[in-house]
Structure 1
Amino acid sequence: MEKKELHYIHSFAEYVDQFIKLLIDYSPKLISALIILFIGLYVIRLVNRLVRKIMVKREIDATLSAFLADSLLWAMRFLLFITFISKLGIETSSFVAILGAIGLAVGLSLQGSLSNFAGGVLIILFKPFKVGDSIEAQGVAGTVSEIQIFVTKLVTGNNQTIFVPNGILSNGVITNFSLGKNRRANLLFNISYDTNIKTAKEIVMQVLENHPKVLKTPAPNVAVNLLTDAAIQLAIQPWSKNADFGQMCSDVLEECKEAFDKAGIVIQPFVKEASKN
């Protein structure tokens, strides 16, 4: 029993000696690899900050600058990681081959995400819209609050956040209401057939001319849009600045209603905004 215990102790001591010897032999590589790692991370942070400052100074689009800075950051980290494991003595060629196989498998399983990534790149490069624009796409409308790599974040008028995948967004129809400085409304009023059309148009034009948010140029327009079975449909087409559009539409509808009531013009039970062009 004592001999076995002595044998175990002797074997353990040999293992410890071999481990210490291996650690001493390997420590220069480990220390140098760790030094490269920490210095590399510090340099990467400095370079990333410098790149961001340069892009801000050159007034590059915020979304594009963030995308480029993040891409550069991860590329530098990947190169640093390859350098680190190479310094440790690990064969990089086999590691890269394994990493490539893993990347292929992940890519095949994430085809939808890759499509969204490609869509995000296209949106950032070709800029059909930017942060702060009001857009309508894929059946939803809102203000663009953030363009991420895979999704675009929209905030609706009632403060709901909608995430639209960039893949379908870049391949679909996008209506950008903010590209032009001005925007025209197309408001419809149904009035009784007993109404004098000329008088109704004059009343509406007076409302539009007196409203401070209705632009004089381009000039507003009032025209008969349609003669339905039950009413005369007037199209009221005022222009306003993008920022004033919603308030202007609301004010014009309200003031036209009040003016029609004073003039004794009967409004049929149908009032809506036909389009947002």
Structure 2
Amino acid sequence: MLENIDYQAIINDILLPWGSKILMALVIFFIGRLVAKGIVRVTEKVLGRSKLDTMIIGFITSILSAVLILIVIIAALEPLGVDTTSLVALIGAAGLAIGLALQDSLKNFAAGFMLILFRPFKEGDFIEAGGATGVAEKVSILTTIMRTVDNREIIVPNGNIFGNNITNFSARDTRRVDMVFGIGYDADLKLAKQLLCEMLENDERVLKDPAYVVAVSELADSSVNFVVRPWVKSSDYWPFFFDMQEQVKLRFDEAGVSIPFPQMDVHIQQ
């Protein structure tokens, strides 16, 4: 029975035509993918020479890469006899169906576009958004990548960020440091205020304008509380805050100004 098979006809009519079509499709796919990568790299370099933020560049190139790969796939299917016009229509219909099923992903995509458009933060800004706090590193199509102060990576959906409050601690050049220091009721009030003012006057990081504030804010249960509110550069915020905690304790100890701890007097009646 095998002797009746015309192998030459199979080769000529099936293997050679389809083999050449498959080979052509593979060539188009691999060459097209290389060309697409080249276009993305060139676009990235051109945009890099502009004043655009790197997060905007990454967002644009990621979308461009996805579109070009889709075009390459459609072009590679054409030698195989696939009706690309119908395929595009089919992809559109499938995209609509997938879009309805993946509403959250579309929401994140739209939010990513809005973040790039309005730019509430840029790369390197320290922000609080989407329930996370850290340095913004990248806005991709669906997510934003943040790095915490202890070097952990947090990936937050764009929809969670754009749909909620965004606090950008790096947006302004200066920040006010709000601190509260308590002294005992038997301590010298004027001396404590003088020491606090001297520490602020002698610290070069404290800005002259706006002026700092040192005032009694509360007669608390166990202490008399001072509010201390100097202005510093945003980059000096945490170094100044930590130094101030240490310096106040040391200076108050040297001057004999007590810093009380919570306490309660108990009177027992017979």
Bucket of the pairwise TM-score, normalised by the shorter protein: 0.7 to 0.9
Instruction: Determine if the alignment matches structure 1 residue 8 to structure 2 residue 2.
Output: yes
Q: Deviations over 1:118-137 (max 9, x none)?
A: 22221122111122111123
- Per-residue CA shift, 1:85-142, capped at 9, x if unaligned? 2233211233233323432333233222222222222112211112211112344322
Alignment counterpart, residue 255 of structure 2, candidates 263, 268, 271: 263
Superposed, which structure 2 residues align to 1:12-51 within 5 Å? 13-14=5-6, 17-25=9-17, 29=21, 32-51=24-43
1:82 to 74, 87, 94: 74
Who is 2:112 aligned against? 120
1:68 corresponds to 2:54: no
Match of 1:274 in 2: none
CA distance in 1, matches of 2:18, 2:146: 54
Most deviating of 183-192 and 74-83? 74-83
Q: Helix, strand or coil: the match of 1:267?
A: coil
- Structure-2 change in CA distance of 1:164 and 1:76 (3 Å): closer
Q: Deviations over 1:215-272 (max 9, x none)?
A: 33333221222232332211111222222211110111111111112222221337xx
Question: Given the two structures, how large is their TM-score scaled by the length of structure 2?
Answer: 0.86
TM-score (norm: length of structure 1): 0.84
Residue number in structure 2 paired with 1:194: 186
SS at match of 1:269: coil
Structure 1 alignment gaps of length 5 or more: 1-6, 271-277
Matches for 1:86-125 after TM superposition, within 5 Å: 86-125=78-117
In the alignment, the residues of structure 2 paired with residue 191 and residue 38 of structure 1 have an alpha-carbon distance, to the nearest angstrom, of 74
Runs of 5+ unmatched residues, structure 2: 263-270
Match in the other structure for 2:243: 251
Contact 2:59 2:139 in 1 (8 A): no
Question: d(CA) in 1 for partners of 2:35 and 2:73?
Answer: 14
Which residue of structure 2 aligns with residue 158 of structure 1? 150
In the alignment, the residues of structure 2 paired with residue 42 and residue 164 of structure 1 have an alpha-carbon distance, to the nearest angstrom, of: 31
Q: Write the distance in 2 (CA, Å) between the matches of 1:160 and 1:233.
A: 37
Matching residue within 218, 223, 229 for 2:221: 229
Indicate conservation of the 8 Å contact 1:190/1:269, yes or no: no
How many Å separate the matches in 1 of 2:131 and 2:23?
58
* Conservation of the 8 A alpha-carbon contact between 1:40 and 1:80: yes
Q: Is the 8 A contact 1:150 1:166 kept in 2?
A: yes
- Report the Cα distance in structure 2 between the residues aligned to 1:236 and 1:140, rounded to whole angstroms: 28
Q: Larger deviation: 166-175 or 108-117? A: 108-117
How far apart are the structure 2 equivalents of 1:228 and 1:220? 23
Q: 1:147 aligns with which of 113, 121, 139?
A: 139
- The answer to whether the Cα contact below 8 Å between 1:184 and 1:239 also exists between their aligned partners in 2 is yes
- Matched with 2:199 is 207
Letter in 2 for 1:182: T
User: Which among 154, 161, 173 is matched to residue 165 of structure 2?
Assistant: 173
C-alpha contact (below 8 Å) 1:146/1:152 kept by paired residues: yes
Identity %: 37
CA distance in 1, matches of 2:70, 2:32: 11
Structure 1 pair 87–228 and aligned structure 2 pair: CA distance change class (3 A) = same
Separation of aligned partners in 2, 1:151 and 1:122: 12
Contact 2:222 2:261 in 1 (8 A): no
Q: 2:176 aligns with which of 166, 184, 193?
A: 184
SS at 1:240's partner residue?
strand
